[in-house]
Amino acid sequence: MLHGCTQSPDDFAAGTRMNFIAEEQSCFVVYPAQRSEANQAKCWNWFRTADQQRGRGEPSLVAGITRQIMRDYSVDPKRVYVGGLSAGAAAAAVMGATYPDLYAAIGVHSGLACGTASDLPSAFVAMRLGSLAAPSGSDARGVLSERPTVPTIVFHGDRDVTVHPSNGGQILEQSIRTTSTQKQVHRGRVPGGHGYTRTIHTDAKGRGIFEHWNIHGAGHAWSGGSPAGSYTDPRGPDATKEMLRFFLEHSLPQQPG
């Protein structure tokens, strides 16, 4: 679980309540912390080319933390996932693109697709307007080409003025580009809260491999989160519950040999 800018692991854990939901499912949850020395606002540096590549920069550090936990505890190596909020969500998208052999699914809440920016100025453009160019090709990021795109669940408020809502759609466009899917659209409303449009893309076997929750009236905040943490909106559908549900529907394919 990768926190957003200015957040800490404790703050992020409190706001998402991921520990409570994970406890019910016997899941481990790991909250890496970005140091202020690496980014003054404690943002993950998802927008730097050097931090969008396999075996380098922040992706190598997050992958290293993941593998350390897998070594130290009884973790099913086929059922490891990464999610985040805002800058952490963009970093989760980078992890899915650079380590598709490590993560069985990713969750991107109020984030951006891998490759939408290459430096700080282009990051601000993508955040305010959406990406003006298609995300960079996966080959530049060291992605393992033999592995299909990682199953992805996206949450984004349509009133988000920090990260433009079009970025949520661009994440799925980047994923669907290489995959044939059928689309199902469901609409609903949280009692006393936000309405939402949930779009599910299923593969030829009927499995939901991409999912997009467009939360109507919501801003830049974790949907359904607790006010005990920052950047949360209790009026939304429960992103924590839905993200973990989506994760547990997916596992890495059996490796040959």
Instruction: Kindly report, residue by residue over 175-214, the tens digit of the pLDDT.
Output: 777 778 899 999 999 999 999 999 999 998 888 999 999 9
Answer whether 0.85 is exceeded by the pTM. yes
pLDDT at position 140, please?
40
pLDDT less than 50: residues of the chain: 134, 136-147, 257
CA 30 to CA 102: how far, in whole Å?
A: 15
Whether the Cβ atoms of residue 79 and residue 104 lie closer than 8 Å to each other: yes
pLDDT at position 141, please?
42
206: left (phi over 0), alpha (psi -120 to 50) or beta: left
pLDDT at position 29, please?
97
pLDDT at position 144, please?
39
Give the SS3 label for residue 150: coil
CA 158 to CA 167: how far, in whole Å?
A: 11
pLDDT at position 143, please?
41
Tokens coding 77: 């190596």
> In sequence order, what DSSP letters do the residues of 83-120 get, joined into one string?
EEETHHHHHHHHHHHH-TTT-SEEEEES---TTS-SSH
Give the SS3 label for residue 121: helix
pLDDT at position 130, please?
82
pLDDT at position 132, please?
57
pLDDT at position 142, please?
43
